[in-house]
Amino acid sequence: MEYLTDDILERAIRTQHNRIFDTHDVCSTLMTDFVRDYVRELYQCLKSNQEPFVKLHTDIAKRMASRDFEHIVRKLGGKHRSMNCRGKEDECQVWERMDCIETIEPGCINKNKQKNLGRVEPKQAGTDNEQYVYVMNCTKCGCIYSSNGSDIFQRKCPKCQGGNKGPRLLTS
C-alpha cells in the first residue's frame, strides 16, 4: 500500500459515524473521501493476477486485522472485536469505537466513567499549561467537579475514586 498511509487510514476511521464499524465501512470512506489515493492504490493492484478491487479490499482488510494497525484504532479510543462482520472466517474484522475520539468533547465518558459536561464559559484558564477548565460528572455517584482539558482522559472522581478536586472554579 503505497498511497494509503497510516495517516489516511486513521482519518478514514475518524470519519466513521457508527459506534461499530468494519473493513467495508472504512473502504467505503476511502472510496468517497480519499478518492485520489484510493484510485492510485487501485491502479497498483492492476499488476496483480487478482481482480484489482477485490485485491485492494483484501489488502486493506488484512492490514486492519493486523496487530500493527491496532495501535491506530486504540489511539482513537477504539477496540477490536473478536468477531468478523459476517460471522465467517475472513479478514473483515469488526471494530468498535469506544465512548469518544476526543475526551474534550462534551458528553464523552472516560475510562473511569467520568463524563465531560463541557468547557466552563466564559473560558477559564486551568492550572496546567495553556489548558481550559472543564466540568466533570461522575456517572457512579453524581459528583460534579472540574478538570484541566489535558487531564480528562484519566480523571477519577474526588468523592468515590480518590481523584483530586481539580482547578478551582471562578465565580463572576
Q: Out of 61-70, 98-107, 125-134, 150-159, which region has the weakest mean confidence (pLDDT)?
A: 98-107
Whole-prediction pTM: 0.48
Query: Does residue 100 register a pLDDT over 60?
Result: no
Q: According to the model, what pLDDT value does residue 104 have?
A: 74
Specify the higher pLDDT residue, 24 or 69: 24
- Check residue 141 and give its pLDDT: 92
Task: Give the pLDDT score at 75.
Answer: 65
* Domain ranges for the chain: 6-97, 102-172
- pLDDT for 99: 47
Residue 57: predicted pLDDT: 83
Q: Give the pLDDT of residue 82.
A: 46
Mean pLDDT, range 80-96, rounded to an integer: 54
The full DSSP string for 28-80 is HHHHHHSHHHHHHHHHHGGGSSS-HHHHHHHHHHHHHHSHHHHHHHHHTTEEE
The DSSP code for 9 is H
CA distances from 45 to 32, 39, 120 (A): 19, 10, 51
What is the rounded end-to-end Cα distance, in angstroms, of the chain?
56
Which residue did the predictor score with more confidence, 21 or 39?
39
Share of the chain above pLDDT 90, in %: 12
Q: List, in order, residues 6 or more apart from 124 with CB less than 8 Å away.
A: 132, 133, 167, 169, 170
C-alpha to C-alpha distance for 64 and 6, rounded to whole angstroms: 10
Contacts of 141 by beta carbon, 8 Å cutoff, 6+ apart = 157, 159, 160
Spacing of C-alpha 94 from chain mean position: 14
